[in-house]
Structure formats: C-alpha cells, structure tokens
Amino acid sequence: MSAIDYAEKIPNNVNLVGDRTLQRALEHWQPHFLQWWHEMGPNDFEGADVYLRTAISVDAQGWAHYGKVRMPDYRWGIFLADPVAERKIGFGDAMGQPAWQQIPGEYRSTLRRLIVTQGDTEPASVEQQRLLGHTCPSLYDLRNLFQINVEEGRHLWAMVYLLHAYFGRDGREEAEELLARHSGDADKPRILTTFNEPISDWLSLYCFTYFTDRDGKYQLKSLAESAFDPLARTCRFMLTEEAHHMFVGETGLSRVVKRSLEVMKEVGSDDPDRIRAAGAVDLPLLQKYLNFWCSSSLDLFGSEISSNSAANFANGLKGRPDEDQYEDHGLREKTLNLVTPQGASDVPMLNALNEVMRESYLKDCEIGVKRWNRSIERAGSQFRLSLPSSRFRRSIGAWAGQPVDPQGNLMQRELYEKSLASWIPSEGDKAFVHSLMQKVIEPGRMAGWIAPPERGINNLPLEYEYVKLH
C-alpha cells in the first residue's frame, strides 16, 4: 500500500517530491484552487468547524480519518489506488496487452477531453450547492453537504493531477479553465447541461446525489477500466469517496418518504394539499422531482448511437462499468436491438455502448425506488413511485425533443406541452418546496419535512454537533 505524505504542501501518494517540475506546477495551481473555493464554494461557512473525513490511505480498511476541520483547511490531495501488478488491458482491440503508463500520442486529445469533461463536473457541483447551507434541515445534513463539497473538490484535484502530469502545457491550461468555467454562467458555463441546473433546495440536492452522482459512479467505473493506468487508478479511489454521495441521496429521499408517510397517517389522508398544509412533501410532488432529475441525468450518458463511444471502447480508453461481468470484451460481432422514434433496428453493439451503460444505470436507480415503494406499501398507501422512461424529456440522442410521456409513449405535442407541468415540478411546486427550506441548526433536531436518519456519522449519536457554527 502506498502511504500518503501529509508533511507535503499537497498530500499525495504519487511521490510528488520525486518530480520537482510537476510538484512546482501543482503548487502553482493550488492557490488558484483555494481562491476558487473561497469565491465559489460554501464561503459563508468558512469559519465553521465541520466533522469531516479526510483520506489518509487508499487501503479499503480504514482509509479515512474523522475530525473537526475548517473547510478552507481541508487537506485536498492526490491519491491513486494501488497499482495492480502487470495489469493488462481488459477490453477492446488491444485486449491482453500491458496497460499504458504513458499516453500513446494518437489518443492524447481524446483522453484529455474525457478527463476534462469528468473534471468539470466536480467543481460544478460545488458551485451548484454553494448556498444550500443556509437552509439545512439539520446539522447532520449540513455536515454531509460539506463532506460532499470537499470531496468533489478533491476529485477536481484528481483530474488536475492527470492533466498536469501527462498533458504538458495543454493540461496546465485545461486545469486553469476548470476554475474559470462556472455553473450556470451565461458566458462560460460548465460543459454538461445538468451541471448548470441550479440546486436551490434540499429535495433537489437529494435527487442530484441520488441520480447525478450515480451517473458519476458509472462514468468513473468505466474510466476505472481504462488502458491508461494512472486514470484507472485515480478513478478507482474516487469511487470509494463517491459511495457516500449516493448514500446521502438514497437515505435523504428515504427520509422524505418516511416523513411523508408519517404525516399521511397523522392527518388521515393522502390528499396532497393536506400533506403540504402539514409541512411535508406529498408523494406526487416527490415523483415530479424524480422525473426531473432522472431524465436530466440520463442525458449525461450521451446518444444511443455513438461512434465516439465505439472508438473509445475499441481503443481501450473507456470500458463498460464492471467489464469483468461480461464475457465478450471485443464486441466486434455483437448487435443491440434499439428502438427509436423511427422504429426498431439492430445496431452494432460497439456503437450502442452509451445505451448499454444507461440501462445498467437505470437498474441501479431502481433499487432505491423499490425500497421506497416497500415502505409506502407497508404504510398501507396505494401510491407507487417510479422512474420515468429513458425516452422522457430527453435533450440528447434519438429521443431528443420527442413528445413522450413518463411511461415512454409518444403523444401529441400539444397535449405533451400541456401535461409537462403535471410531470415535472411547476413554479408553484418549487415555491412550495422552497417554503419548507428553513434552517435547523440545533444539534439533533430535524426540519419537519424530513425524518431523522437511522444513525449518526461514524458511530456518533445523532445529537452530536456535526458542524460548529461561529
């Protein structure tokens, strides 16, 4: 196991002291990062002591240290998972050859684009979430938000390390650009649409961490298969941190459902107006948020048919998540039956890999929905939550701009436009959700619209003061 050097300005397990040029370049970028954090991060909470975990090793057992930290003092560093001895390329046309420790010239620009696109999402999400601290439903939740924020900051470091270490001057320029684009900025927005959507309430945050961080999981898993070994190792360790982000989404939405069911019981009705009057989120409203964030995240996988994804796979740059689970790693002979508005047809599997990934992502998303529905059923309600069809409200790919209902049926455009407000949050819905967002900062207390979590962080009681505000 490679130890992490904390005596260094930049904690790392990549032997940065052994490469003075790289070390200097990253130490030059560091104050720019801190300035970005100070301007675009959760800067109203810079004085708060937050109970955070910090990576101290890449060992699966006990990789993190917990303690109170001011966020600007967080030790953002560069951590790669341990190398696999004599690792071989696991898919594509070069399958079985040694993994690359350097980038082959012909794949340089494609790999740079993949790394920049992934890297861009990390600071984007910090920017999207920067004001949520003012409306936290509890100190426990506030701490989780900040934990996610500092780790997304570290994920930016992970990608910037690769850019600096393997892409020379181009890479250094890209690293600066990662701090210059901003979420929702009219002139210099973030690269992907979902990362320009505002997140101004906690229901959206839970949906974002459930759906969009899970897209992140799938992207990281497919890059963790890459023939470019430093990228694979970087992504493997990022996945360790990413699991917590999805945990926040899944348990956050579970707690919203739980509270909703309690209120339904208290008022003896499932009438949305009465649930709302009692200060909770009615289940049909939650369904609209699921429809919005799920469909928005589905676009992140790209077009159903993509020659880029075919080339990336064939060349060994980007595999399928959990490539091991498949038998055929070349895919030259396989086809997939794809249904588009023009009808069904068989397309080469290599060109349909975005769709393959989207389908396995949706299966992963279903797990939480099934759990929520079991608790709804146990509470005696007929209501069921569901994921929208992958054809619904798409902006990219074969179904882009098509008038399709959440069940996936094509319909008349006029009716579609009229119905949209009943499928995704309307202005009134958003105003209601915003009205619920009142800050609760007494240790152990929860806002009225969300149930307490089952347990605290790192075996601490729920009443622990997870964030000490000054």
Interface contacts to Fe ion, rule CB under 5 A: 122, 152, 155, 213, 242, 245
Q: Which residue lies nearer to Fe ion by CB, 122 or 197? A: 122
Q: Nearest approach, Cβ of 274 to Fe ion (angstroms)?
A: 36
Q: What whole-number distance in Å separates Cα of residue 286 and Cα of residue 304?
A: 28
Give the list of residues 6+ apart from residue 166 with CB closer than 8 angstroms, or none: 102, 103, 230
Q: What whole-number distance in Å separates Cα of residue 169 and Cα of residue 164?
A: 8
Q: Nearest approach, Cβ of 162 to Fe ion (angstroms)?
A: 14
List Cα–Cα distances, 53 to 1, 18, 146, 216, 339, in angstroms: 20, 28, 10, 20, 45
Dihedral over alpha carbons 120, 66, 237, 308 (to 10 degrees): -20
Q: What whole-number distance in Å separates Cα of residue 448 and Cα of residue 258?
A: 12
Q: Which residue lies nearer to Fe ion by CB, 242 or 270? A: 242
Q: Nearest approach, Cβ of 58 to Fe ion (angstroms)?
A: 16
Q: Which residue lies nearer to Fe ion by CB, 153 or 230? A: 153
Q: Which residue lies nearer to Fe ion by CB, 209 or 315? A: 209
Q: Which residue lies nearer to Fe ion by CB, 48 or 205? A: 205
List Cα–Cα distances, 109 to 163, 167, 287, in angstroms: 11, 9, 41
Report the DSSP beta bridge partners of residue 55: 64
Report the DSSP beta bridge partners of residue 98: 88
Q: Which residue lies nearer to Fe ion by CB, 92 or 368? A: 368
CB 313 within 8 A of CB 92: yes
Q: Nearest approach, Cβ of 410 to Fe ion (angstroms)?
A: 34
Q: What whole-number distance in Å separates Cα of residue 50 and Cα of residue 441?
A: 13
Q: Which residue lies nearer to Fe ion by CB, 122 or 225? A: 122
Q: Nearest approach, Cβ of 122 to Fe ion (angstroms)?
A: 5
Q: Nearest approach, Cβ of 113 to Fe ion (angstroms)?
A: 18
CB 249 within 8 A of CB 371: no
Q: Nearest approach, Cβ of 125 to Fe ion (angstroms)?
A: 7
Give the list of residues 6+ apart from residue 336 with CB closer than 8 angstroms, or none: 346, 347, 348, 349, 352, 355, 356
Identity of the residue numbered 71 = M
Q: Nearest approach, Cβ of 381 to Fe ion (angstroms)?
A: 32
CB 313 within 8 A of CB 353: yes
Q: Which residue lies nearer to Fe ion by CB, 298 or 462? A: 298
CB 256 within 8 A of CB 286: yes
Q: Nearest approach, Cβ of 114 to Fe ion (angstroms)?
A: 15
Q: Which residue lies nearer to Fe ion by CB, 220 or 310? A: 220
Give the list of residues 6+ apart from residue 89 with CB closer than 8 angstroms, or none: 95, 96, 97, 98, 99, 227, 316
